Structure 1
Amino acid sequence: MHSANPLPKHPELTVLHSKAWSEYRVQNLHVRGKSNISVHTLLECFGTDALVCLGIALLWPICVEYRVFTVALATIIITYVCGRCTRVLWESVIILHSLGLQLETHRGLPLVPLFTSRRFIPLTTLRDFVINEGLRGWSVHYYLAVIQQSPNGDVTISVPFENIMPRFPVLLEIYHGVHELLFDNSSVTNVIK
């Protein structure tokens, strides 16, 4: 397996290649920190958790006496833990040569992935892999889109990296990689570099 960061200015993109598959992984740097884990990154990730535990310890004597406070504190703790455990760590487009694409989203704690969701798109239903643009408020955002067509003619669009929304140079690198590995050179759409 070969690993590389093709864009030095964009450390969030990691490309992994093997004979059977290739993966384009975009890290959520707001959650994971830098790609190399240091003591500073660990303290940054779990500093908030330590403050929450300290707050619970300070509020515990009050909550034990009053049931309303106990229920409120339990609700706050459950909401915090659920939010902490379901953050997006990274999203991937995995190209399974001659089979299709797999879109993955990994969620969990900053250093421990807990949940993974996967969507497989067979090559037989895959029509195109494009960079599209959409409006959000007053700004234009670029995103990747996978266009599928079912045997009965229905067209669906899947959006990889829908949670992280990487910038255009990262999208362009992934676009070119997918087209090189899945589509013939004759069907690749020209994109201005």
Structure 2
Amino acid sequence: MARVRPIPDTHPQFSVLDLPGYREYRVENWHLARDGSGRIIRGTSYPLWLSILSLCMSIAWLKTTAWLLATSLLAITLVGINSLPILYESVVVIPSQGIQFETHQGLKSRSLISSRRFIPFASLEDVVINEALHRWNVRFYLVAIRQVGAHGHRLEVAFENLLPHHPILRQVYYGIQELSPYVAR
């Protein structure tokens, strides 16, 4: 396994892992402080106070009924799982098969939940870097155009939670173009 950080000075959270049979482009949920101190600033998660509030409300409404207790515990569990921070997102390119978008959530360096979306090269029309306006900012995102059915298309956004900067997206875009046999060049 060879891990390379192609943009170490400005985007050290981006790495490329070359493994036998596939290549992974990974963006971790941290960045360096902008004051030049070199401090690492971790990404945030959803508010934990929401699960604590639901716990307090369930205890207040608890009148010795088991179904209310079970419902409250289920709600707390679901809120707790959704409040786990995103550790990293990645695009995995499998040259003979397709591309896969992954999101990993967990605590510190332990991934507890992961979601994956696989797009076979046979249904992949193109991969593009697009831009969107968000308030007063221009944000770039990498999108895979996937054919669904005879005349339908679906847009699959890579790194949809972290939205890395344009230099990272450009590296991933060229890597996908290099390894995919079907994507328009």
Q: Same fold (TM over 0.5)?
A: yes
Match of 1:5 in 2: 5
Q: Comparing both structures, which one devotes a greater share of its residues to strand?
A: 2
Aligned residue in 2 for 1:59: none
| Aligned residue type for 2:155 | I
Cα distance, 1:12 vs structure 2: 1.0
Q: How many residues align?
A: 156
More helix by percentage: 1
Is 2:122–2:182's contact at 8 Å kept on the other side of the alignment?
no
Q: Among residues 137, 141, 144, which one is paired with 1:143 in the alignment?
A: 141
Identity of aligned residues (%): 40
Residues 1:121 and 2:119 are matched in the alignment: yes
Distance 1:116 1:129 in 2: 23
Letter in structure 2 aligned against 1:99: Q
2:3 counterpart letter in structure 1: S
State the Cα distance separating 1:169 from its structure 2 match: 0.7
> Structure 1 CA distance, aligned partners of 2:166 and 2:106?
26
- Give secondary structure in 2 for the equivalent of 1:3: strand
Deviations 1:108-127 (A, max 9, x none): 11221100000000110001
**Deviations 1:89-135 (CA, angstroms, capped at 9, x unpaired):** 10010001110001100011122110000000011000111100011
Q: Over aligned residues, Cα RMSD in angstroms?
A: 3.4
Q: In the aligned structure 2, how far is the partner of 1:136 from the partner of 1:170?
A: 19
- Tell me how far 1:150 sits from its aligned partner: 2.4
**Aligned mates of 1:5, 1:161 — CA distance in 2:** 17
Matched residue, 1:48: none
2:26 is aligned to: 25
DSSP 3-state at the match of 2:159: coil
Aligned ranges 1:161-180 → 2 under 5 Å: 161-180=159-178
Runs of 4+ residues deviating >4 angstroms: none
The answer to whether the 8 Å contact 1:15/1:24 transfers is: yes
Normalising by the residue count of structure 2, what TM-score does the alignment of the two structures yield? Answer: 0.72
CA distance in 2, matches of 1:69, 1:166: 44
Kindly provide the amino acid, as one letter, of the partner of residue 164 in structure 2.
Answer: P
Rg bigger for which structure? 1
- SS for the counterpart of 2:158 is coil
5+ long unaligned stretches in structure 2: 34-38, 44-48, 63-71
- Scaled by the length of structure 1, the TM-score of the pair is 0.69
Distance in 2 (alpha carbons) for counterparts of 1:152 and 1:84: 36
Structure 1 gaps, min length 5: 35-39, 46-51, 57-62, 189-193
Cα distance in 1 for partners of 2:83, 2:137 equals 30
Q: Give the alignment of 1:14-93 within 5 angstroms.
A: 14-29=15-30, 68=60, 78=76, 82=80, 86-93=84-91
Task: Give SS of 1:140's match.
Answer: strand
